[in-house]
Amino acid sequence: MNYKNIKSLLVIIISLFFIVNDVKTQNLNLQNTNQSSKDIKWYDRFSIRGYVQVRYNRLFETNDQLGCEQCDNSWGEGGGFFIRRTRIIFFGQISKQVYFYIQPDFASSAGSDRLHYGQLRDAYFDIGLDEDNEYRFRVGQSKVPFGFENMQSSQNRLALDRNDALNSALRNERDLGVFFYWAPKKKRELFRSLVASGLKGSGDYGVFGLGAYNGQTANNPELNDNLHVVARLTWPFEIKNQVVEASLQGYTGQFVLSKSNLSNGVKYKSDLNYLDRRVAATFVLYPKPFGIQAEYNIGQGPEFNKITDSIEVKNLTGGYIQCMYNVPLKKQFLMPFIKYQVYNGGKKHERDARSYIVKDLEIGFEWQPVKQFELVGMYTISNRRYEDFGLQDNHQTGNLLRLQAQINF
């Protein structure tokens, strides 16, 4: 989809926004009058929460050259105790149809030798078009609705890192744009309950989502006039005591490689623009008590080709399957899991759009003795080939035990 078509799409969506609002202006004015009469203070609509994750990855490590740049920089040689995330979230329903969400992270890395910098993760507001906010626009920097595990908060996810196959689409899972979401009131309530009850939901990104975003990922400037477009359709439903969710999603656009991320000598397109598109399918059986979570995506994107020493548009494939069991305990939470993932394709965010072949098996558990504290232990059996212009014929295998302590507040 070219820029003109995207622009037309946005004009249609924005026009719809104003039409619906014009129809309901009188109702909105009445609601505002009633709210003013109650004299609600700003702090009554403002909440703060967050979490901190501390990891150690070096127990029983068999290969200190094995790493995963997009997963966790404390893998391998030179790694030690590591603060993976320090998130403080400011949010609130500041009026019946306006919601805001701001999330900085204070464990970002400014370089391999500089840790614990503050960086913006989310900064967006939702504008509801009806009284129940079944139709809403999300404006700002937020998660792009592509992939269940990408949208699932790291505070709730079982495995320590997201899978390579779908997470390679979006570093930090976020970008700056405008997204339209729709979900019936009952489905929105179901989305919330799947998170609140500890069943590892993804959160409320609507039953249907459609949006346009820059395409260079979070905290990076737009580098061309071609916006990315994404669409997602999901449907959670209950069968007796079980909850099942099935989804389809996809995006397309032109990704611009950064010259600072290219090796001297590597060949690339003169304009640095590369086709970037994917489609993915998701299936989730929520753990009540046994659960399955599986996703798979196919597409095309930039990838280093060591035969030609060039970055080319190549096909990519990959996904994962995860099985988990919700162990019934009185006041504690315990969920063992096993996850297998594969990926064959490039990572556009890494040097020279690094080429990957991944086959990983992860076996672990999450234990919460109290709601405010949780411990994750995970044994990883990894087989990875990752190559760029300066790192060719790089095939690393190894095993390691990984631990993470998390505080929720």
- One-letter amino acid at 176 equals L
How many residues appear in the chain? 409
CB 181 within 8 A of CB 232: no
Show the tokens assigned to 26.
């009188």
Show the tokens assigned to 396.
């690393």
- Between CA 333 and CA 337 the distance in angstroms is 13
pLDDT of 1? 52
CB 153 within 8 A of CB 174: no
Number of structural domains the chain divides into: 1
Of 84, 124, 90, 94, nearest to 104 by C-alpha is 90
Show the tokens assigned to 128.
């509801």
Of 397, 333, 391, 373, nearest to 155 by C-alpha is 373
| Chain centre to alpha carbon of residue 68 | 17
Which residues span the domain enclosing 222? Answer: 3-408
pLDDT of 10? 53
The CA-CA-CA angle for residues 173, 281, 127, to 5°, reads: 50
- Between CA 403 and CA 296 the distance in angstroms is 27
pLDDT of 30? 40
Per-residue pLDDT of the chain (409 residues; tens, 9 = 90+): 554 555 555 544 554 444 445 434 444 444 544 444 457 777 788 899 999 999 999 999 999 999 999 889 888 888 899 999 999 999 999 999 999 999 999 998 876 678 899 999 999 999 999 999 999 999 999 999 999 999 999 999 999 999 999 999 999 999 999 999 999 999 999 999 999 999 999 999 999 999 999 999 999 999 998 999 999 999 999 999 999 999 999 999 999 999 999 999 999 999 999 999 999 999 999 999 999 999 999 999 999 999 999 999 999 999 999 999 999 898 899 999 999 999 999 999 999 999 999 999 999 999 999 999 999 999 999 999 999 999 999 999 999 999 999 999 9
pTM: 0.90
Contacts of 402 (CB under 8 A, 6+ apart): 55, 56, 57, 59, 160, 364, 376, 377, 378, 379, 380
pLDDT of 11? 46
- Residue 204 is given by DSSP the state -
pLDDT of 160? 97
- One-letter amino acid at 284 equals V
pLDDT of 330? 86
Report the CATH number that the domain containing residue 212 is assigned in CATH: 2.40.160.10
